[in-house]
Structure 1
Amino acid sequence: MPDHTAAPAADTRRAAQNAPSSTSYWFDEPDSAVSVLHAVRDVQEAGRDMRRRMSTGMSMNTTDLEALRHAIAHERDDDPLTPKTLSRHLDISGASTSKLIDRLTLSGHLVRTDHPRDRRSVILLATEHAHHQVRERLSDMHERMLAVARSLPEGSRADTAEFLQAMAECLRAEPAPH
């Protein structure tokens, strides 16, 4: 009987040997700009990992956590968050948004309340329980992040912030695949 496990392993090794190294996959020659792009990618991956850990710790999925984050941000900006706005932000259907809101309401993280300016609409607010959980999980990390940001020389901070905003715009401008 032939051994079918040997061929896939050999194919995998061959592909790995022929694949470009991680430092030059997209770029022909390594330079300091490429190392900056690798650092940006590391930050993105660390952020995704942190959100996964946080959502697990709060017994919710990452979409629910993003919805909660968005609700808190809207409260901070004194900008009422409607289910429709949340649906657009998360890029999910109205039915999926309703189920998400139901889950977060049932878990005690969100409440629906009357819209302050539109009697036909409701807004979503994070509960004190949600605020407490988020603060409890993120306060230390935010303090460490602030310390890292403060470690930048004062004269470099504006340029660094501008660079990061420009990188964010590059990512936002990438069209969805067809």
Structure 2
Amino acid sequence: MKATRNTSERLILDDTPWFIGIAPARLILAFAGASLDAASTGGETLWFGLGFAAFCLFVRRVQVILDRPGGSIVIRRQSVFGSSQVEHLLADLSRAEVESATSRSEGRTRTLFSPVLVLDGGLSAGRHPVVEAYTNGGGPHRLAEAINARLPASAAEAQTYGR
């Protein structure tokens, strides 16, 4: 996830995991292709269908908009199958944090991270994940830092933005 717009009024963060969608699609195509090649001839339409289906399953666009003039946080999720939008009050946002999950496999320990928004007030109080996947990169930490940098630092500034 990266900041596509970072102005004093608006912070827009986007995540479109192209690699995550393309890599499994290619793997599925390779295995399916080897099987289909042996079983049939002229399966180009089927190849396209399998690739498109795999791509659709794995690619989901997420956009987070922190809008100071509007006093809102908008989280948009889009996939080929549809879209959803959740809106929260910016005044309810206390901070962004990074959650971690640890997995152990074959004697190795691996820690993955995911950014969450922590809302202390309103009907939406609680922890709200920004993206549904965990990653081992530094992206979630950079995202949390970018969001926290946008929050009012002082009580006077907080009053200005309705907190």
- Same fold per superposition (TM over 0.5): no
Task: Please classify the TM superposition score into its range, dividing by the shorter chain length.
Answer: under 0.3
Structure in which a larger fraction of residues adopt strand = 2
Which of these two proteins has the greater Rg computed from alpha carbons? 1
